[in-house]
Amino acid sequence: MAISLSINGVSHSLDIEPETPLLWVLRDEIGLTGTKYGCGISSCGACMVHVDGQPAKACQTAVSAVAGKQVTTIEGLSKDSNHPVQKAWREVGVPQCGYCQSGQIMSAAALLQKTPKPTDSQIDAAMAGNICRCGTYQRIKAGIRRAAQISGA
């Protein structure tokens, strides 16, 4: 079945089963490997993308559910990797191993789009679906605060 997708502003028409997880389409069919496979059960957040501006876990989102919608991956967040969250992540030195960071960044970007100056409790709530096995949660929170400053909030 042909499904039309818009990924990072580029149209794709793929002959694929409608229930195929978006994660596999992004990685295996389109070649965008920035979105990571973590747990496969929607618990860790490593596969976070934006669907029409809202965070979504690509491992459990069927490709048919995003047909006709705008999907943004970490590669599409900024053409030059200078989105305020990406800048803040570098300034603060957020990543340790880095594996979860694309999902963390996508969740943080969605939070700041909705809430430009979040409180600590809003940050905690928005980031609750992302797990960092290295435990860099304090640096992640500091990165989000810094990104809010960079954005002018």
Q: What sections of 34-83 are H helices per DSSP?
A: 74-77
Please state which CATH class domain 84-150 belongs to. mainly alpha
Question: What is the mean pLDDT, run by run of 10 residues, along the chain of 153 residues?
Answer: 95 96 98 96 96 97 97 97 97 94 97 97 97 96 98 81
Length of the chain: 153
Give the pair of three-digit tokens for residue 41. 């059960």
Question: pLDDT at position 21, please?
Answer: 98
Question: In this structure, what token pair is assigned to residue 45?
Answer: 């957040």
Q: What is the pLDDT of residue 25?
A: 98
Class of domain 2-75: alpha beta
| pLDDT confidence of residue 1 | 80
Q: Where are the domains of the chain?
A: 2-75, 84-150
* Per-residue confidence (pLDDT) for residue 153, from 0 to 100: 64
* Cα separation, 64 vs 137, whole angstroms: 34
